[in-house]
Structures are given as C-alpha cells and as structure tokens.
A and B are shown apart, each in its own frame.
Chain A
Amino acid sequence: MESCNCVEPQWPADELLMKYQYLSDFFIALAYFSIPLELIYFVKKSAVFPYRWVLVQFGAFIVLCGATHLINLWTFAIHSRTVAYVMTIAKVLTAAVSCITALMLVHIIPDLLSVKTRELFLKNKAAELDREMGLIRTQEETGRHCALWMPTRSGLELQLSYTLRQQQNPVGYTVPIHLPVINRVFSSNRALKISPNSPVARIRPLAGKYIPGEVVAVRVPLLHLSNFQINDWPELSTKRYALMVLMLPSDSARQWHVHELELVEVVADQVAVALSHAAILEESMRARDLLMEQNVALDLARREAETAIRARNDFLAVMNHEMRTPMHAIIALSSLLQETELTPEQRLMVETIMKSSNLLATLINDVLDLSRLEDGSFQLNIATFNLHAVFREVLNLIKPVASVKKLLITLNLAPDLPEYAVGDEKRLMQVILNVVGNAVKFSKEGGISITAFVAKAEYLREARPPEFIPVPSDNHFYLRVQVRDSGSGINPQDIPKLFTKFAHNQSLATRNSGGSGLGLAICKRFVTLMDGHIWIESEGIGKGCTATFIVGLGIPEKLNESKFPVLPRGSSNHVLANFSGLKVLVMDDNGVGRAATKGLLLHLGCDVTTVSSGDELLHAVSQEHKVVLMDICTPGIDSYEVAVQIHRLYSQHHERPLLVAITGSTDKVTKENCMRVGMDGVIQKPVSLDKMRNVLSELLECGHQMSSLARV
C-alpha cells in the first residue's frame, strides 16, 4: 500500500445510498447557485428595494451553502487531503455567513411586516372616505332649495307657486302676508338673510338631526304695463311683491356671501320682468280675443243696419214713385177741370182739390228729402246764383199772402252783400221761404222784417250756440238772415222742440196753418249742410219772434271761368221779350226739326235762315248773324268740327256769332265736348218757347262763354 495522503471516508461505500446522496447534493448545489441569480435579476428589475445589504449577505450565504454541497460531492469517494481542506474552509465560511445573516434577519423581518400593515390601513381609510363623500353629496342635494311665493288675488296671503322639486311640496300652500319677516323683506330692495325657521323657509318636513342651511329671501316686484317706460328701467312703484326664497342645503358649511346676495338681487329683478311679460302677454291675448268677438258683432250690426237702410230707401223710392203717379193724375186733371166751364161752387171745390193735392205733393217731397238728408245720401247742388234775386223772389211769392193778412213786409239787403254767390239756390230759397212763411203764418197783424247781411267775426261770436264759430275766408262768406215778426210768439219752453220733426205746436195759432211739422226740421238739416246754424228767439207768447240763420256761401270766381252756371230764375226783368231783327242761323238736317225751331224763333221775332248741313252753314254764316243754332245729334255731320271752323273764321270775339248747340242727350260728355270746341251755350231738347227765350236773352246779355245752360 502506498501511503497517500488521502482521506478515507467515514463510512463504507454503500452503493445505492451513496448514489442518492450524490444526486441530492448535486441538485442542492444547483438550486443554491440559482437562487441568488434570481434574486439579483429581480432586484435589478425593481427600482426600490431598501435592503440591498441584506440581499448581498443572503446571496453570499446561499452561494457558500451551494459551494459546500458541491464540494461534498467529492467526498463520496476517496479524495485527497486538499479537497478535505477546501471542504473545511468552505464549511467554516458558510457557518460564519449564515450566523451573520440570521442575526440580520432578526432586525429586518419586523420592518417588512410593518409596511404591510400600513398599506392595509390606508386602503381602509380610502374606502371610508369614499363612503363619506357619497353621504355628503346626497345631503347637499336634499338640502339646497328655491321657492317662489306669489301673492293671492286677495292680497292677504302668499301662495307657494313654485319649488325646485314639485313632488316634495304641495303647491297651494299659503302663508299670511303680514308676517314681520315678510314685511322686513318687502320693505327693502336687497336680499336679506332670514331665519330658516320662518314659515316661508320651512317648506319641507325637517328631519331632526339636520341643521337647516342659511336662507336668503328677496322681494320680486310684480310690474304692470304702466310701469314700463321706454328706455327706462321699470319704476318700482308697484305695491305687489312676490317672495323668492333660496335655501342652502342643511348641514352645509357654505354661507351666503355678499356678492352672492347681489347676484340674487339681480336675478330677482329679471324674474320680475319675466313675470310681468308673461302677465302682459296673457292680457293682450285676452284683449285680442275680446276685440275679435266685438268685431264680429259690430260687423254683423253694421251689415244689418245697411240692409235696413237699403230696404228703407228702396221702400221710399218705390212709395215715392207710386205716390207721385196718382198725384200727377189728380193735379193734371184738376187743372184741366179748372179750364172748363164750372159753376162757382164747382170751382171752389176744384180749387180746394188742387190746394190739397199741392200740399200732398209738398209733403211727399219733404218726406223724401228728409229721409235722404238723414241717411247722409243727400248732396247740395252747388252752383253760382244771384243772391239778391233769391230774396226778391221770396218777397214776390210771399207778398200776396201777406197783403191778404194786411202784413207789411220789409226787406233789407246790406250794401256789402254780394250779388252772386255759390251754393244751393233751390234749398236756400226753400229755407228762407219756410222761415218767412212761418213768420207770416203766425202773425195776425203788424209786419215782418227781413234783413240779410254778411256776418262778420264779431257777430259770429255772439251767435248761439257759442261753439259754432264759422270763419270766413277768401272764397267764402257767411250770410246772416234775420226774420222778425210781430206775431203770436212762442213760449220759450217750446223753442227746443221746434226743430224736431213732426212735433207740433199745439197752440191755437196753428189751427189753420196746416203743414206737416217737417218744415223747420228740414230747414235745420239744410242749414247744417250749408255749414251754418239756425235758431229762433222769442220773448214769449204775444211778443213776436225772431228767426235767424247763418249759412256759408261761396264767392263766385271771375267771369272768364268756363263753367256754365245755372240760369237765374228771377231774372225775368232781364229777359228780352222781343228779339226783333236778331239774325239767327239754324242748322238741322231734319226737316221737321228745322221747321219747328224756325217757327220758334220767328215767334220770338228773329230773322231766321235755315241750312241743313255743315257746309251750307259755313257758306251761309256771316258777320250779320248774331247767333248760330246747331243741332248736334245729326249723324254724319261733325258739328264740333263746324264750330272749330267758325272759330277759325272769326278770330275776334266781338265779330263771331254766338254758337249754341241743340242736343237731345243729357250726358256730361256732350257738354264737355261743346265746351271744348268753344260753344257758347247748350240747349237740351225738347225746346220750349220759354227755354229758347231765356237762353237767347242770357246769351245776348252776358256775351261769349258766360252763357247759360238751360236745363229746365
């Protein structure tokens, strides 16, 4: 045996056991070496690991353990002494490191454990906070509140009319208006803090543990339309206010700040405006509906009235015609009767019949006139006429009656009263005649004085009634006529009734006067239409009376206006009875017509030449002929052309014969055409002797272009 420094194992080499041990050691070593590797890898990975030193220690410990086990592998077989030495060193080191590590761990492990607990603690805290947050939020919501209280109709209570959440409070809940807290709020225009316990703030049942939040109340003025001025902030002159209450949530730590209060005030003003707008809108819609209804009703009423008026007019027109026809027969036949041989008795009877039928005719005319006057369809026939002549005519008409009654009639026309005036001659005469007629009727003795003058401003002011102040101007003047009589007079109490229709003065003076009672009513209507006024004064029974009226008349323009004025009736003293030697030229293509016109003119004494065509006329006309009469409805002959030719032939006015057209048509066009070609006059067929006479005399008197339109 060689002596080797080998060490012999302790135990005998048991094959199987030895194998297992060998393997286990191998694996242990492997594991022990990989653990530190893993540790290094993961520590490198994590950024934060406070215990590096511990790891190093632990790593060393493991590595050495692994080394020990690894070396142990060699000790299973016979091994040299070197291996044994290495093994021993390794084991010693391992022991040392392990002891140090064990000691270290005693300090470290409690720390690690405490980290874990802290983490757990924080998690719990977070969960708790979440819960509390939820609670607080719900509390916030339930606590915040806004309510609007409106005054009721009676004004004695405030009614809850709006809340933020309707289902919580019944709308209609009321509170008396005169609580001190409410008065305090209403008397200031600022938002004020009020106690949460006041009835306006306590609108939901309080749960015990909640402390109500702060409450602010502000008044909201209820404005009317009249409060709004243009460009102006609405004036707070209203007395009615609504109350807006804002509540902070209960348990809230929030408080109302000053700027928040200001915000609330501004909002309250806007709310006021919005409320007013809504109220105004409602009003206006209601008013519009009402107006529409009224409109419909008015329309219906108007249509009914129109129908009624039309029906009445139709009736009147028909009745008028129907009444006139038999009347004409009566009048015609009774005048015929008068012409025959009658006994005095019979004559008297016939005269009575005539007078009565005349009265009836007057009545019918009056009624028709009055009805036309009343419904406004009446129009005056305005034309130029001779004013002086009107008065003279009235005088002439009334003289016979007056002389029978032995009454003295005096007529005074003021010197400045114009001779010609523009107005409705017929109606003016009717008025004067009626007034004078009444004066004569009611006077048994004495006299009637008629004065007419131009009303000056001073006179006008004293005219009754005082609100009637006519103003004369450049082209018209006011005629004032006063008729004074010394008759039976009128009781001053009866004076207002005089002008009402059909009202009859029951005094015995009227016993024989007859009349319909319409006369004065019609006069009044006419006078009013002529822009005037009529009134009667009397000092009493037996003291006579004075009737006065003022009417407006126009002043006629200069004589070269090319209008055809109406022939004045009363100019009979101007009419030449005999036109002897007047040379007249007649043109008519109809033989019979020619003969008729010639006969007419011959009767008047003229020297007549007749022609039957325009050419003949132009040949025959000469300066000797003073008048040319042309029938202008002859077809085929352009009479207008002839007239133009004559104008051309005679350029000087005083040389040219007067041109007169005879026509059967009544329309305006013909007249206008005649004027256009320069005719001096127009006569309408059928031509009567009087018509011809009047036309000729007018023509010859007034000269060219101022000739008459005989439209009798």
Chain B
Amino acid sequence: MDVGLMQMQRRLAEYTSALFKEGILDSQYVQLQELQDESNPDFVVEVVSLFFTDSEKLLNDLSRDLAQQNVDFKRVDAHVHQLKGSSSSIGAERVKNACIVFRNFCQEKNIPGCLRCLQQIKQEFLLVKSKLETLFKLEQQVVAAGGSIPTSGSLPTVQQPIL
C-alpha cells in the first residue's frame, strides 16, 4: 500500500479521534457518517454545509434580537431551540451544550448572561466549522489518493458487560 496514503489515513484517523476526544463532535456525527454510501457519497458534507448556513443565519438573528430595546425572549428562545436541534443532529456537541446554557439564561431573562452565552456559542461554532472544514480537506486528499475514509465509528460504544 502507498506509504503516503497510509500516512494520510493515519493522520485523518488521529485528527478525527482528537475531535471526538475534545468533545467537539459526538456519536451523532458517526451516525451521519454511516449514512454515507455509494448512493449518497456526499451526504455528510451536504448536511454539514446546511448546518453552517442555517446556524450563521440564526446567530445573526440572535445578535440582532438581543440588541433590541425590548428583547423578545420568546423569539430568542425559538432561535436557540433551532440551533440546538441542528447542532445535535450533526453531533456538534459543544455548540449544543452552549445552547442549553443559553436557554437557561433566556428563561431567567438574564440579558448579560444571554450575551455572554451568545459569544460562547459563536466561538464554539467557529471552532467546529474550522475543524470540520479541515477534516473534509483531509478526507478529500485521502479520496484523491485512492483510499477510503474509515467509517467504522471512531468512538466505540463502551463494551457493556453482557446485559
């Protein structure tokens, strides 16, 4: 086998497992990967891109809503709910957690808290975006070199004792 390909694959595996270990991605991402097959080769990329576009729009809406004189917490909550749903669907764990915290502040109608959380979410979002883009680039390289992306889950389910 091509040494370069092996090296690339190893690097990809390391990168992926690092993402999981740092908690940026969780097992849901693995599920998405499993859905990718010959009939749907770019499934993951499509879904993730959709996530990026959606989330950016949501984040802009949130910034605008929180800057208002009278903050409409219902709207804000609805946006955060959407964001939470999307991030959990693709497995962006940290973004999802930040959304949960945001919602708590929202319920308390704590504007400074909300603003802080929004910052946090933005940071996490940017982080996951850049990481995933790097990941996709690596994958493209591997595919271009003729290899295949390992799809068996990077995070094994814990071996539960038999029943």
The answer to whether A and B belong to the same complex is: yes
Nearest B residue (CB) for A631: B85
| 9-residue interface stretch from B45-53, B110-118, B138-146 | B45-53
Q: Is the CB of B152 within 8 A of A599?
A: no
Residues from chain B with a CB closer than 8 A to the CB of A461 are: none
Option from A354, A362, A602, A636 in Cβ contact (under 8 Å) with B39:
A602
Nearest A residue (CB) for B31: A688
Q: Is the CB of A596 within 8 A of B90?
A: yes
Residues from chain A with a CB closer than 8 A to the CB of B127 are: none
A317-355 interface mask toward B, CB cutoff 8 Å, 1 = contact, 0 = none?
Answer: 000000000001001100110011000000000000010
CA gap between A365 and B158 in the complex, in Å:
14
A433/B161 contact (C-beta < 8 A), A595-B50, A686-B27 known:
no
Number of A-B contacts (CB under 8 A): 96
Residues of B within 8 A of A (CB-CB), count: 39
B126 CB to nearest chain A CB (Å): 17
Residues from chain B with a CB closer than 8 A to the CB of A336 are: 17, 154, 156
In the complex, whether B15 has a CB less than 8 A from a CB of chain A is no
Q: Is the CB of A365 within 8 A of B35?
A: no
Residues from chain A with a CB closer than 8 A to the CB of B78 are: 635-636
Tell me the interface secondary structure of chain A in the complex. helix
In the complex, whether B66 has a CB less than 8 A from a CB of chain A is no
B40 CB to nearest chain A CB (Å): 6
CA gap between A234 and B109 in the complex, in Å:
82
Nearest A residue (CB) for B86: A592
Residues from chain B with a CB closer than 8 A to the CB of A332 are: 155-156, 158
In the complex, whether B54 has a CB less than 8 A from a CB of chain A is yes
Residues from chain A with a CB closer than 8 A to the CB of B37 are: 603
Q: Is the CB of A599 within 8 A of B32?
A: yes
Tell me the interface secondary structure of chain B in the complex. helix
In the complex, whether B89 has a CB less than 8 A from a CB of chain A is yes
Scan residues 612-653 of chain A and give those whose CB is less than 8 A from a CB of chain B: 631, 633, 635-636
In the complex, whether A397 has a CB less than 8 A from a CB of chain B is yes
Residues from chain B with a CB closer than 8 A to the CB of A339 are: 13, 150, 152
Q: Is the CB of A591 within 8 A of B161?
A: no
A608 CB to nearest chain B CB (Å): 12
In the complex, whether B68 has a CB less than 8 A from a CB of chain A is no
Residues from chain A with a CB closer than 8 A to the CB of B43 are: 599
Scan residues 426-440 of chain A and give those whose CB is less than 8 A from a CB of chain B: 426, 429-430, 433
In addition to A433-B162, A600-B31, 11 A-B residue pairs with Cβ atoms within 8 Å of each other are A331-B159, A332-B155, A357-B159, A362-B162, A592-B86, A593-B85, A593-B89, A599-B43, A602-B35, A603-B37, A686-B27
A binding-site residues for B, Cβ under 8 Å: 328, 331-332, 335-336, 339-340, 354, 357-358, 361-362, 365, 397, 426, 429-430, 433, 589-593, 595-596, 599-600, 602-603, 631, 633, 635-636, 664, 685-689
B binding-site residues for A, Cβ under 8 Å: 10, 13, 17, 27-28, 31-32, 34-35, 37, 39-40, 43, 46-47, 50-51, 54, 77-78, 81-82, 85-90, 150, 152, 154-156, 158-163
